[in-house]
Amino acid sequence: MLLNQCHLLMGLMLLHEVKGTMVKLNNGGFEDIVIAINPGLSEDNKIINSIKDMVKQASAYLFNATRQRFYFKTVKIVIPQNWMHKPEYKRVTRESYNDADVIVADPFLKYGDEPYTLQYGGCGEPGRYIHFTPNFLTNDSLLVVYGPRGRIFVHEWAHLRWGVFDEYNNDAPFYTTGKYKAEATRCSSEITGQYVFQTKTGSTRKCKMRQQNHLYESECLFLPDKEQTTSASIMYMQALPSVTQFCDMSNHNVRAPNLQNKICNFKSTWEVIMDSTDFAHSSSRSTPPPDPTISLLQMQERIVCLVLDVSGSMSGNNRIARLKQAAETFILQNIEDGSWVGIVTFNNAATIQTGLQQVVSDTVRKTLNGYLPISANGGTNICAGVQKGFQVFSSKYASTEGCEIVLLTDGEDSGLSSCFAEVQRSGSVIHTIALGPSAAKELEMLADMTGGLKFSATDSVDSSSLEDAFSGISSGSRSISLQSLQIESKGQSIGPKSWMYGTVSIDKTVGNDTFFAITWSVSMHPPGIHLTDPRGKNYTTADFVVENSNLKTARLKIPGTAEAGDWSYSIQNTESAAQVLSITVTSRAASATVPPITVKSYMSRDTNKFPNPTIIYAEVTQGFSPVIGVKVIAKIESASGKTTEIELLDNGSGADILRHDGIYSRYFTAFKENGRHNIKVSIQGKDKTAKRTRRHSHTLYIPGYIEDGKIKMNPPKPEPNVNETQGNMDNFSRIASGGSFLMTDVPAGYIPDVFPPCKITDLRVELTEEDEFHFFWTAPGNDFDVGKAERYEIKTSINPLELRQVTFHHATSLNTSALIPEVAGIKQSFQYKAENFTKENGTSIYFAIRAIDDSNNIGEVSNIAMATVLFPQLLEPPSNNEYNKIVTIVVITICSFTVVCAIISIIICVLKKRKMGDPKILETA
């Protein structure tokens, strides 16, 4: 029984590590898929009915597309709390909007309803979520441009689950075959259609070809034939009735310049799916699957119990005082209005300090704050605390399902696993905070099995990781306008009579319920505080409130909406000894209709074994619009308090798969020790460099079809207002906890260089008129994307498949002895003159590159770049009929010209003879 339980827990941990999802695969059926409706949407039963129809249609389509392997078995639809309650709606358990696999929400900018999947990782890596708009689900007129909703769901599910990419490319809609002919970027290339240019008057004509690159003119459209014979591919144009399959090796178009070829190195979609763990743990079914079982769940009031460790070890390292400060911020500033909050403390036994109280006023917040612990003693019994938390819930509600426990402990507990079964049955979510280096090793398993968040905090005197952990525990199913956002979080050891300075940028998207909280570690009196708002108004220590229950925290609440702009602060340690000063600033959205700028941080894995790198991600958005041009810094803190800072980038190289998609990322390899590491991400938008932009990789908008030989155009695609999507933004700052990850197998003492340079992902090649190949890419590092590589290898082939990782060493090498690597992140170029190069029009030549460091660690082979030999041509060569017409015209013209010349010669001759008096002149004439 215990062994089976351990296997179950390990399975849950593996699922959570891949993605923050609770989806399970059971005999080919995907279970517990969560589709959540945004809490800000108005009630509309059409949305629910459309989701039901879409899922049922998608399951049958998926089953056929995966060759009778996969289908949708159970799906949960999460309905907002403010929608009318119905008897068929059950309580949510561990489902939430934030962690849903599919979300239904309006876009921030009203320019379209294109479905998309947010993808962070590379080929084969699962995505974060699928986004459908309510208009997409309820407006049947969109079916003509996107196709049936069930087919689109399967298209997006392949992105989400298996990490495949689109086989079209809106940025490169065509590619040349090199024979004065262009093709639409698609898979398979067997999909037929016409190339049409639509004029401003609405009429159409054939597209013209551009001389310089043998591609069709801009705004040329490929209109597919409505009736096709090919069955592939779903990742290109699933709307076509004949399309029922993914591209495989037999029909994959390796020449198409799409993301699937670039990121998956010319692997077909079906090959990537076959490489997945899903495929390895499934087999074909002989009978069709049953229709999906769909459950309707409704969000509820937020119900939270703080379960706090007060064992003897909490009295050391100032832990109980830091707990009081951090939990106080959570209660007074962070927890949303309307939530129910209870408090439990535990050591050898557990005690209910207060039952559930609803947060409806500042008075209730202060009352709750008075129950926070201020002393510690005794042993550690974590299960006793958790069970008492369940009792707090049960005293008001018939079920503990959907309730949340915030569990903080610093101690070990050998009996923790004894309550795992009860925790799993409870339906509650447990968020864990491990304080110090000795917290129970099994602690995170409670979060993994319940879908909770995981944090760790160190004893470092100038760390704000504990405050950051509490601030990171926001509601997963409440409107973002109600949630508290962390604007600043900074701690620093300040010498006697010295100052801590800084600036906090509050932008126009936030400002309501803004708090400045100052804490200190030693003095019984507040430090000197000077705060100046953007208009020059000054606040001093006298304006801050010091709670009687906590003499080491001063708090200032800005009335109304805080002034947008830069707030400068200076805080003086007035003591004769050094002490830690810290500042935390939180705020809420300024408007319920304008979403605030937010940052969310994730890791590629939350358990890691040396020498595998960890990738840190930060998603910066306003609503669903990516925000680019932001300075993003990740701070990684080990269990002993050692910190490393790295800048995350959105440049499309290294760990970052797409440039300017609002997802900033970087490899982290600077491991110094084993144990828990916590991550904090800070973002800064300065000097109007930050801009909103559009999401990439939407479902293909089909401009029209060819039906019975006739052109039938669809309505034009809605386009965003340039000012909306690319306007500069105010200065802003945000802080977000990225949670914690566990590191194992780091060598003690000397750590060898085992990290190779990262994969180059942005290689491109151009062929000049002088027959030189020009290469362009972003330099990798010595250790993934840090430092500088030692040398490069570049290889070429006329077959791109020869340049993959396993066959790269067999391909033809280029002489790169003169090529010197730059520091990671620098744009590099290289010119190569091929010897005995024979230019044959239309020939495509492929190249790939990899880097090697000074320890001979070899990086992964880059994306495969293509160069095509093209001869200049003013016009497309005429067809045979056109050629015959041209020859006839030329011949007639020449003949006509010859007759005219003969007549003129005769006349001249006659005139000459007349002048000479020739008697035969009249006869000759």
Residues 517, 519, 523, 526, Cα dihedral to 10°: -10
**In Å, how far from its chain's centre is CA 95?**
20
Residues 816, 769, 215, 760, Cα dihedral to 10°: 10
Closest-CA residue to 830 (of 865, 870, 784, 785): 865
Q: What is d(CA 220, CA 173) in angstroms, rounded to the nearest whole number?
A: 9
Known catalytic residues are 156
Strands (E), 329-389: 340-346, 350-358
User: What H or E segment, with its residue span, contains residue 420?
Assistant: helix 420-426
User: What H or E segment, with its residue span, contains residue 680?
Assistant: strand 675-685
Which pair of tokens denotes residue 484? 């508290």
Whether the CA torsion 533, 535, 540, 544 is positive or negative: it is negative
877 — alpha (psi -120 to 50), left (phi > 0) or beta? beta
Distances (CA, A) of 204 to 192, 197, 711: 18, 5, 9
Q: Report residue 223: phi and psi, to 5°.
A: -105, 115
Closest-CA residue to 187 (of 157, 133, 148, 231): 231
User: What H or E segment, with its residue span, contains residue 52?
Assistant: helix 45-65
Q: What is d(CA 762, CA 832) in angstroms, rounded to the nearest whole number?
A: 18
Considering just the CA atoms, what is the radius of gyration of the chain in Å?
33
Q: What is d(CA 711, CA 850) in angstroms, rounded to the nearest whole number?
A: 47
Whether the CA torsion 377, 382, 387, 393 is positive or negative: it is positive
Are the C-beta atoms of 816 and 794 separated by less than 8 Å?
A: yes
Are the C-beta atoms of 488 and 733 separated by less than 8 Å?
A: yes
Q: What is d(CA 98, CA 20) in angstroms, rounded to the nearest whole number?
A: 10
Distances (CA, A) of 302 to 337, 338, 402, 427, 477: 9, 8, 8, 14, 9
Q: What is d(CA 172, CA 643) in angstroms, rounded to the nearest whole number?
A: 43
Q: What is d(CA 694, CA 335) in angstroms, rounded to the nearest whole number?
A: 32
Are the C-beta atoms of 222 and 193 separated by less than 8 Å?
A: yes
Are the C-beta atoms of 815 and 698 separated by less than 8 Å?
A: no
* Through-space distance between the first and last CA atoms of the chain, rounded to whole angstroms: 124
> What order of strands is seen across the sheet that includes strand 24-26?
24-26, 29-31, 71-72
Which pair of tokens denotes residue 25? 């695969």
